Every structure is written in structure tokens, then in C-alpha cells.
Amino acid sequence: MERYEDHADGGSPWNHSRAFPPLVAAAQRFEETHPGIQIRWSKRSLHEFGHADLPTLAREFDMIVMDHPWVGKVFESGVMLALDERLPRDVRNDWARNSVSCSFESYVWEGHLFAVPIDGAGPVASYRPDLLRAAGFEVPVTWQDVLTLAKAKLAVMPGHPVDVFMNFLGLCASRGGDLFQGDSKLVDRETGGACLEQMRELIAYMPAAIFGWNPIEVYEQMAKSEQFAYCPFAYGYSNYSRPQFAQRQVLFTWEDLDRSYRESLGSRSSSSPDDSTVLSTGVRSR
């Protein structure tokens, strides 16, 4: 990291094709239309993106790409400017209207906006259609389908501690668990215990190497190897679904499975609570 000369801004995004090149391209055009201003982006890893101390980074960079869980910390530390005090209302309203889901609101804390959503990727399952076809499997719809793929050594998931925790929370939410009901309670014991057992069983069929893989590393493994056909937990990094982005195309399940599951519900005369529970990844938990 370095300080930059006058009339120059330094920035720090995370190091991936979906993050770094778009910012460099935008900076190039901004410099062309604003002579005398230079923007230099410096990469940091995906792990640093989630864990590097933002107050420390703020002393080195003028602009930072951050993840929304940091917003409370930056408010308390006072290291980042409140954008709502510096941007026109019509610009903020336009961002709010055109942001996906709650992306815009996730950067608001105590009534102030501390970042703008330039990238959104929610929890979603992914798969290699060619490998599923070759092995004679369909895209999973139920949790048992996922276990069947895992037993066949075709399923994988990110296993870094933070990813395992996020996977656990998603599974708890899909079972209707009461999450964060008080400062000292993460989830009700019944839901938490059931989800931990589900995850324990699933992970038992996966290689130990997953505990060193984050979502990007899982997608890279899926795209370049002939081993893994399905991932139940990660994020919708849509680059991997684009032809020729990687060696093999990785597709995401939410749209197709959500539609097919809603259609299946419509064909039933009734459904039990367990049957109607859907993972955030588009897979029923039972």
C-alpha cells in the first residue's frame, strides 16, 4: 500500500475478475474526463475483503470496496464519510430504486449511507450440467438429493470457517429457525441442532481440502476439474455462468428450481411444514 501524490485517489477492491477490472475501466474513463485526477486501485484477497480491518485500510486508501457487515464498525469508528451528506438526493434515490433486493439498505446505518452497492451476490446453489448428465443425475431439489450427490463424491462446498457459519445460518433460516432473537442467542436449540447434524453428514462425504476453500476457490475447482458437479452453498458469482469465462461453465439454480418448486407446490392438495421449507439455495431442506 502506498500514499499517492496530490490530485490522486487510491482505492482497494478484492482481487477477482468481477471486482478489479470494472473499477479499473471506470477509473480510466473518469481520468479521461477529469484531467489532473488519478485513481489507482490496489487489490486485496477475498479473505482480506471480509476480514481486513477497515479503519486500518482507511488510513491508506481514499476509496474502499467493503462488504456490508462492516457498516456498523465504520459508523462507530468514524473512518468513512457518510455519503448521504455528500451526494444529491436524486442520485441516492436512483440507486435505492435500482439496487437488487436490500443491497442499498444494507449499507445504511443509523440513518446514514456509508457505501453504494456496486456488486450483489446472494446465496445460491451451482452445478456443472455436463457432469450431472454424464453421471446420470438431475439438479437436486431436496436435501436427500444433495446427500446422494455427496455420497457419489460429486458435491462440494466452501469450508472456510466464515463460509461454514454462513452455510449454517442459511440452513437454519430455511427450516424457519428464530435467528438472532437477543444478543446472546444465535438460533433456537432444536433448529440449530438439526442443522448441525445435516451439515455434519454432508461434510463427511466431502474431501478435507474444502476447509481451505472459499467460494471462489470452489468455483475454480468446479470449472477446471471433472470431479465436482454440484455445490449447495456459495454465492451467485455470475461470471462463472458465462461461456468462456472459465474452462467449463458453472450454472446457478435459483431461477429454475424456484420456478419448478412453486409449480410442484401448486399441484399439491396440501403440504407439510417440512415439505414447504426451502433453502436459500433453492433446495428443500427435507
Give pLDDT tens digits for 171-183.
999 888 888 887 7
Q: Which three cell numbers stand for residue 122?
A: 446472494
Residue 164's region, left for phi above 0, alpha for psi from -120 to 50, else beta, is alpha
Query: What share of the chain in percent tops pLDDT 70?
Result: 82
Q: Cα–Cα distance between 234 and 219 in angstroms, integer?
A: 9
Residue 178's region, left for phi above 0, alpha for psi from -120 to 50, else beta, is beta
Q: Inform me whether the pLDDT recorded for 196 exceeds 90.
A: yes
Residues 6 or more apart whose Cβ sits within 8 Å of residue 89: none
| Model pLDDT, residue 276 | 30
| Model pLDDT, residue 10 | 58
| Model pLDDT, residue 11 | 61
| Model pLDDT, residue 12 | 65
| Model pLDDT, residue 167 | 93
The β-bridge relationship of strands 63-64 and 8-12 is: parallel
Lowest mean pLDDT among 11-15, 125-129, 225-229, 277-281: 277-281
Supply the angle between the helices 161-174 and 189-204 in degrees, to the nearest 10.
Answer: 120
The rounded mean pLDDT for the chain is: 82
> What's the DSSP call for residue 98?
H
| Model pLDDT, residue 278 | 36
**Positions of E strands within the chain:** 8-12, 38-41, 63-64, 108-109, 112-113, 126-127, 230-231, 251-252
| Model pLDDT, residue 254 | 66
The β-bridge relationship of strands 126-127 and 251-252 is: antiparallel
Residue 3's region, left for phi above 0, alpha for psi from -120 to 50, else beta, is beta
Bigger pLDDT: 183 or 29?
29
Are 281 and 170 contacting, i.e. CB atoms less than 8 angstroms apart? yes
Q: What domains are there in the chain, each with its CATH number?
A: 8-113 (3.40.190.10), 126-266 (3.40.190.10)
Q: Inform me whether the pLDDT recorded for 54 exceeds 50.
A: yes
Are 168 and 222 contacting, i.e. CB atoms less than 8 angstroms apart? no
| Model pLDDT, residue 52 | 73
Q: Cα–Cα distance between 232 and 252 in angstroms, integer?
A: 10
The β-bridge relationship of strands 38-41 and 63-64 is: unpaired
